[in-house]
Amino acid sequence: MISFKYSTRLIIILKNIVIKIPIGKKGYLQGLNEKYIWDKYKNITSLAELKWMYLGVVCQKRYDTELLTVPNIVVRRIKSKVPEFNFSDCDLHNSENWGIEGKNYILLDYGINQEIANLYHEHI
């Protein structure tokens, strides 16, 4: 079964993978930032496995997303491990940005940083 979501990127959800296609500058920058964050922190914290990124298009492993809430301790832990997420507009408390594998919470959408968050307040 294929499903879709839409935000700054068109999200195509397949059986085992998720493909994120940028729509505009914010989505493109998010794809580049996900690659940067993955390369830098993949062995340090729980990020959705990035299979590849090309021209801002991201392919990640798919995870179970049947979460009700993400514990504050999980958000605080990832913010302490990834300084790029430690800013006020960071939406890590949004449960739609998380998945779960076994008993581990996995951050699915990690393309945000302060610069990209600031773009949401501008018209581009």
Domain membership of residue 16 as a residue range: 3-119
Q: Tally the domains of the chain.
A: 1
Residue 26 lies in a domain: yes
pLDDT at position 123: 56
Task: Give CA–CA dist 15/8, Å, rounded.
Answer: 22
Residue 115 lies in a domain: yes
Residue 124 lies in a domain: no
pTM (predicted TM-score): 0.88
- Beta strands 17-22; 50-54: pairing state: unpaired
Helix (H) or strand (E) segment spanning residue 74? helix 72-81
> In the block, which residue shows the tokens 């879709």?
4
Residue 20 lies in a domain: yes
Is the Cα torsion angle 4, 6, 10, 11 positive or negative in sign? negative
Query: Mind listing the pLDDT tens digit for each residue in 39-93?
Result: 999 999 999 999 999 999 999 999 998 867 899 999 999 999 999 888 776 778 8
Residue 63 lies in a domain: yes
